Amino acid sequence: MSAPTFEQQVLDLLPRLRRFAIGLAGSPSDGDDLCQMTIERALTRRDQWQEGTRLDSWMYRIMRNIYIDEGRAGTRRQETFVSEDAGLGVGADGAQEARVELSMVDRAMARLPDDQREAVLLVMVEGYAYKEAAEIVGCPVGTLNSRLVRGRDALQALLAGDGPSGDSA
């Protein structure tokens, strides 16, 4: 059995890339745009990826760089209410409470500073080790740890209704 092609490996990463993109961008449509740009850039620059290294880390770095380059970090507006799309399914299957909880977490995540949100997404959602997440973000492990602690604390405060806490690192 032959090893999966580069394209197949990228396809296998798609659900994780999309989840990270939506978390960074703050909405499914912006996340899908970010994901598409990431895949396009990875395919056009596949010669820059070194066989034997982690493709997922390389793709996350591409995505993060595109996100920063596109200026979404400075221009994204804060959402006060659930997105219009989230309201379409209310009452559909009895899982309204779960949807409300998830939308509360999404809104709280969107209020975190970008560096804290990245740390929380990479470590707590994607399951990366601190060292791997720090490499993706391009900072020392201690800095990532600090961002993660402040992000987690701020997220808990936001979900408890206490408001944001802490600055970005």
| CATH (one of 1.10.10.10, 3.40.50.720, 3.90.1520.10, 3.30.70.270) for 95-164 | 1.10.10.10
Q: What is the pLDDT of residue 162?
A: 62
Sign of CA dihedral 108, 15, 35, 168: positive
CATH 1.10.10.10 domain locations along the chain: 95-164
Instruction: Note the Cα 67 to chain centre separation in Å.
Output: 10
Q: pLDDT > 90: what percent of the chain?
A: 42
Q: What are 44-78's pLDDT values in tens digits? A: 999 998 888 899 999 999 999 998 887 644 554 44
Please tell me the CATH code under which domain 1-76 is placed: 1.10.1740.10
| Residue 80 confidence class, pLDDT cut points 50, 70, 90 | very low
Asked if the model's pLDDT at residue 35 lies above 80, the reply is yes
Residue 103 has a pLDDT of: 74
Kindly report the pTM of this predicted structure: 0.57
Residue with tokens 């493709």: 55
* Domain boundaries for CATH 1.10.1740.10 within the chain: 1-76
How many helices (H) does the chain have, and how many strands (E)?
8, 0
